[in-house]
Amino acid sequence: MEQNHLHNELENDQKLAEQLFSKESLSQFNEGKMEAPHFYFENFSARVLNKIEKANQGKAKIFTLSRFSRYAVAATLLLAVATTFIITNKSLQPEITDTKVADINIQEISNEEIEAYVNDNESIAEVDWQSELSKYSNHVDPVNGSNDTIETNLE
């Protein structure tokens, strides 16, 4: 029923065109447009494939991965990122801890400890100071070779 309706509709539409131009001229027009050079279709597919191949040579090759391979690649990438993050983070960590420890130590040192530290360093400085003086005296009074003169003068 529906097929008949569709067929009738098509016939009616075609008749509209045939009232303007004859059926023959319409089919002649169509035949003229259907013509192609001899052997055109014989080598058409080869020419198209050749063009596709040439176009693909310039492109990067695309691999398709199975579902398992996709997960494996994703896991590897994640592992690489995580490892890099951990390593980078570790190399930065000691500096930060040192600073914190230093801050706490300075605040927590008692006055007695500081005085003791200064005294200790004073004696070290004294020792250094003495050795420098002896060097200096040797240089200044090379004739009598005695250190006492200079030490007395300085005092």
Q: Please enumerate in sequence order all residues whose Cβ is within 8 A of that of 65, keeping only pairs 6 or more positions apart, or say none.
A: 73
State yes or no: residue 70 binds another protein (CB under 8 A).
no
CA 27, CA 10: separation in Å to the nearest integer?
16
State yes or no: residue 69 binds another protein (CB under 8 A).
no
State yes or no: residue 49 binds another protein (CB under 8 A).
yes
User: In the chain, how many H helices and how many E strands?
Assistant: 6, 0
Structure tokens at 63: 């691999």
Nearer to another protein, 31 or 155 (CB): 31
Q: How many CA atoms lie within 13 A of 53 on its CB side?
A: 6
From 1, 4, 33, 95, residue interacting with another protein (rule: CB under 8 A): 33
Binding site for another protein (CB under 8 A): 6, 10, 13-14, 16-17, 20-22, 25-26, 28-30, 32-37, 40-41, 44-45, 47-49, 51-52, 55, 64
